[in-house]
Amino acid sequence: MENKGKIISVKGQIIEVEFEEGVPSLHDILVLKEDENVRMEVYASLSSSIFYCLSLSQNKSLYRGASVINTKKPITIPVGASVLGRAMNLFGDSQDNKGSIQVSEMREIFGPDLPFDEVQTIDEILETGIKAIDFFSPILKGGKVGLFGGAGVGKTVLLTEIVHNIVILNKDNSVSVFAGVGERAREGQELYESLKQSNVLPQVSLIFGNMGENPAVRFRTALAGVTLSEYFRDEYGKNVLFFIDNVFRFAQAGYELATLMNSIPSEGGYQSTLTSEMASFHERLVSTKKAAITTMEAIYVPSDDITDYAVQSVFPYLDSIVVLSRSVYQEGILPAIDLLSSNSSALNPRTVGETHVKTLIEAQALLKKALSLERIVSLIGQSELSYEDQLIYKRSRLLKSYMSQSFFVTEAQTGREGKYVKREETIGDVRDLLDGKYDDLEPEKLLFTGGIKDSNL
């Protein structure tokens, strides 16, 4: 048979397959002749007849000399209305104990590039109800948002709260896709239950490649999520909210595979193909004349080092950046957002308005001045500052405390009722703080409140 090959080596998740004739195409799926559930993807050529393949299944059944058959098809996933309200894996298998997903249509996960004239930019704010994000790094409809943070500072909780708030508000005119790449199964389960309790699960499709899966599955799950988003944008004409947790794990999976193939790494130590892999992922997540895809990405920062090469490779594609800080987390302020490091391309008078921009500039100036006073306060105390510096320092603490917030998705853990604050209300409250209307308040009084006027302070 011209589409038949032979395994010549198994190196972890990389399988070397030799074809004497009928050379396979890139991304073709090969199956073991003895068991068609054992699948591998043709990833790269080692010579004219030997190919590196990514193992997409357990390797227990693989051995040297085993025969494989080329299906001559790439990975395909089910798309359409049947995947809404469902959780599945890379191969379209149900993960929610609701039985198999009724397949109406299958689509390849390697989609064609869009013509440049079909891509559209939208100058409209997508409100989250989270004060720190809406004020310091507002989200553009059809834009890309990155949530950066080290281990345990609240990336997944923040992303889940954004899912909760935005999906509920936009459930009538949009659908959502959530891709879990390399994260814990427990977090996926908690998100599923949260969406179910909020009655928005019927508008959400979830696809998971958990931490325990092999790197090839994790690597391709991200592209499967993109494919679902493209389908709803193009075929349904619906605005899509695409969430992915975690983009670093996508880069890490590619690094694991490159290591097994003995690829020469780049100067940063990661795979030399990292830049093109990030481009192939991000450049498909665009808005068209039909509808918009708004992307929310959690990005793990290893060792809290924001200069890590994999982390830096994501920055060029983002419109809004939200940085989570361990020092803010240790102060007990949640969400632990670094207000000075977070920013957005939406922060211009045309998009957010003159009042927002002016208030933001003053707030940032206040926080920068207070930062320079931190060392003095730590050495000799706040009372030794001049009266003007004391006011600056006090107002900065009031502002930081005000930017803390109780989340709906953590009500069961904290016992505090979740708060949603409109962007205009946040701007007004910050304006009042800067003007000194709340100088008599202790900063602790503003912790985990909603809008100041609604807090009866």
Bridge partners of 321, per DSSP, are: 146, 343
pLDDT of residue 435 exceeding 80: yes
Identify the weakest region by mean pLDDT among 15-24, 25-34, 260-269.
260-269
Residue 406: closest CA among 391, 421, 393: 421
Average pLDDT for 100-116 = 86
For residues 312 and 146, give the distance between their C-alpha atoms in angstroms, rounded to a whole number.
11
Q: What confidence tens digit (pLDDT) does each residue in 305-323 have?
A: 999 999 999 999 999 999 9
19, 5 contact by CB (below 8 A): yes
Average pLDDT along the chain: 90
| Candidate from 67-71, 156-160, 228-232, 429-433 with smallest mean pLDDT | 156-160
**pLDDT of residue 455 exceeding 70:** no
Mean pLDDT of 433-440: 92
Q: Which residues contact 41 (CB under 8 A, 6 or more apart)?
A: 27, 28, 29, 30, 53, 54, 56, 74, 75, 216, 220
- pLDDT band (50, 70, 90) for residue 262: confident
Answer whether residue 364 shows pLDDT above 70: yes
Share of the chain above pLDDT 70, in %: 98
CATH code for residues 4-74? 2.40.10.170
**Residues taking part in catalysis:** 155, 183-184
**CATH number given to 77-349:** 3.40.50.300
* pLDDT of residue 159 exceeding 90: no
Residue 367 vs residue 374, higher pLDDT? 367
Q: What angle do CA 33, 38, 39 make, to 5 degrees?
A: 100
Lowest mean per-residue pLDDT among 84-88, 112-116, 244-248, 253-257: 112-116
The residue extents of the domains of the chain are 4-74, 77-349, 353-455
The predicted model gives 50-62 an average pLDDT of: 90
Q: What is the dihedral of CA 392, 393, 398, 403, to 10 degrees?
A: 100
Fold of 353-455: 1.10.1140
Residue 90: what pLDDT?
A: 92
At residue 457 the predicted structure's pLDDT band, cuts being 50, 70 and 90, is: low
pLDDT at 1 over 60: no
Residue 59: per-residue pLDDT: 85
Q: Global pTM?
A: 0.90
Question: Residue 282: pLDDT band by 50, 70, 90 thresholds?
Answer: very high
φ, ψ of residue 144 in degrees (nearest 5):
-125, 130
Residue 78: predicted pLDDT: 93
What is the band of 2 on the pLDDT scale with cuts at 50, 70, 90?
low
pLDDT of 318 reads 95
Overall residue count recorded for the chain in this entry: 457
Per-residue pLDDT, 40 = 94
pLDDT band at 117 (very low <50, low <70, confident <90, very high): confident
pLDDT value of residue 456: 65
pLDDT in tens, 172-218: 778 899 999 988 888 888 888 888 877 778 889 999 999 888 899 99
Which phi and psi (to 5°) does residue 171 adopt? -70, -20
Provide mean pLDDT across the span 166-174.
75
